[in-house]
Amino acid sequence: MQPAAIPPDRNTDIASTVVATMRQLGVLGLPRNYEIFYEALNGSNHELSLAVVGLSNRPTQEDLDGIGRTFFPQHHGPAIVEHAREMVAKELEDIAALLRSERSHIEKYGRLLDETSSGLSNRSLLSQELLHKIASAMSAATSSTIDHGRQIASTLSEKTAELESVKSKLEEYKRLADTDPLTQLWNRRAFDKEIARIYNSNRGILFNALILADIDHFKDINDRYGHPVGDRILQIIAEIFQSSVRSDMFVARTGGEEFAFIVEGASEDATYEIAERIRALIEQTPFTSSQTGMNYGTVTVSLGICMASEAENPEDLYTKADRALYRSKVGGRNRVTRHSATGGRAGKGWLLYKKD
């Protein structure tokens, strides 16, 4: 199947293209199907586009759901977890059955040993021929028990490997469920969990900070050049974010054009320097089309900072960083604003830092 091409650098009505393509292929107009074709046709996810191209001319819903589970696991999470739960339950039942079988086999062997021991207690009544038969029977029973034990051990090893596979799939699902499919950064779900951890310890409160960043005039970019261009700009900015901070720093896309950084082990001044470096890198980056050379103009970001020690909880920290971001917006954009204490928690001040 070959998806309809979307002309680059043109304000294309992608929604119409998606609907037309779905109708042409006989695809049901389900929201999850629309999401697949929207992401595939705007070219923001190359692997997804290839997966859609690989579909037949009449893809089944099962085929589409398979793509959905791979690229949009956040929409298929309950089904994935339920399937894994069923697999684990089955494997555990199989293991329990194996252990019951082994226990029964060992109990039979134990009874044979007891009976043989009782029979050998009066050796004067035993002939050499009978002793030989008993020894042969015990040897066969022992070999059988050993072989059975080996089979059980081998099967248990296979079951353990299968359970490890289930565990690996669940871990991969968790990773995908916490990842933004467009930028490959952490998503809002992962961010909410990470910011909550800050307040689990005094160290987290004392040595963490939150930076929020928002692309300036992003709606104008989408309106002027189209969503495919807007998505590509989001990807480029995400790549700059990842390359300009420490590898262990948490970076997430928390909304349409909003990003968040959780900085650990840095003072307020050091956190400001990080934010300022990010701002300057975005401003200095040329945003042009690799296909046509068209220049989309300067793209800038506004940022807000709040130290964890200035807030009571995760919600308060996010709110104060967001207010600092808002002050950057109303103060002229393309700048960093930090929310700093001026008189305790009851009174907070604002310091605006404009670019040089």
Residues designated as active site: 257
Q: Residue 285, exposed/middle/buried by CB under 10 A (0-12, 13-18, 19+)?
A: middle
- Residue 28 CA, chain-centre distance (Å), reads 28
The residues pairing with 353 across neighbouring beta strands, listed in sequence order, are 336
301-307: strand order across its sheet: 250-253, 258-264, 208-215, 301-307, 336-341, 348-353
E-strand ranges in the chain read: 208-215, 250-253, 258-264, 301-307, 336-341, 348-353
- Helices 46-53, 31-41: axis angle to 10 degrees equals 110
**CB–CB of 323/339 below 8 Å?**
yes
3-state secondary structure of 258: strand
- Residue of 6, 3, 39 lying closest to 22 (CA atoms): 3
Task: Let me know how many helices (H) and strands (E) the chain has, helices first.
Answer: 12, 6
Tokens 């070219």 belong to which residue?
Answer: 43
Q: Residue 52: which residues within 8 A CB-CB, separation 6 or more? A: 1, 3, 36, 37, 40, 67
